Amino acid sequence: MKIIEVHDVSKSYGGVKANTDISIDVEKGGITGLIGPNGSGKTTLFNSIVGYHPIDKGSIRFEGNEISKLPVQQIARLGLLRTFQQTRIYGDMNCVQNMLISLPHRKMTLREALTTNTRADHERAEHLLDFVGLYEKRYLRSGSLSFGQQKLLEFAMALMNEPTVLLLDEPTAGINPTLINGLIERLKRANSEFGITLFIIEHNMRVIMNMADRIYCLAHGELLAAGTPEQIQGDQRVVDAYLGAH
């Protein structure tokens, strides 16, 4: 079943066409990758989906409903969550507080929000912090963590939010290479254990080839190729795009 359907979407900034007639589907329950060289329009497409700017034409559907005109918070409340390329966490709070704030408020009534966090919430927060390897640092001010650790924290916060779909913008960028394998493992487990559909922008080819069921490749704002990792790897156009040849 398709959970996100991007159909014929175009977006330009002034005269620059960032996305042209892009159509992409994300399968429910799977891991979908989005690759492409710098400036190929990956983040623009992400921002169009999660509602950061209007699109010029086309349609974006989430679980069958049109979302291309909704603002960010309404889309987020449908269960479509994103992480940021430059991580965004609440830097003045400690990790546990960051996690507790990320409880899925969209599923709460005001009355439920006006209760204290339960023991189960705390345990879940600590469990997820353990899951991403930040357990020991859970009472440190999150702003004092390294960039890579903040990224892991943001990922844990996203899991805490119990999203239906999680859009990750370059999850391994800036992370210590020795930790990347662990992160791939955790992303896969998030997908298989928590049943979260993942849609990932990734620069690191090895990472995405290891995870995704299906990969889309953008170049110059247009959809260049789509297919399984094997197909993409064997696609001469993709190789050319990455090498800069035409």
- Closest separation in Å from C-beta 18 to another protein: 15
d(CA 40, CA 11): 12
CB atoms within 10 A of CB 157: 27
Label the pairing between strands 222-227 and 214-219: antiparallel
> With CB under 8 A as the contact rule, which of the stretches 9-17, 36-44, 111-119, 237-245 interacts with another protein?
111-119
Report which of 35, 34, 11, 37 is spatially closest to residue 220, judged by C-alpha positions. 37
Q: Which is nearer to another protein, 90 or 242 (CB)?
A: 90
Q: Which is nearer to another protein, 66 or 130 (CB)?
A: 130
Q: Nearest 5°: CA angle at 131, between 199 and 81?
A: 30
Q: Could you tell me if 174 and 148 are in contact, meaning their C-beta atoms sit under 8 angstroms apart?
A: yes
- 180 near another protein (CB under 8 A): no
Counting residues that bind another protein (by CB under 8 A) gives 52
d(CA 54, CA 74): 14
> With CB under 8 A as the contact rule, which of the stretches 26-34, 56-64, 80-88, 221-229 interacts with another protein?
80-88
- 193 near another protein (CB under 8 A): no
The residues binding another protein (CB under 8 A) are 50-54, 69-73, 76-77, 79, 81-82, 84, 88-94, 97, 100-106, 108, 110, 112-117, 130, 133, 135-141, 157, 161, 182, 185
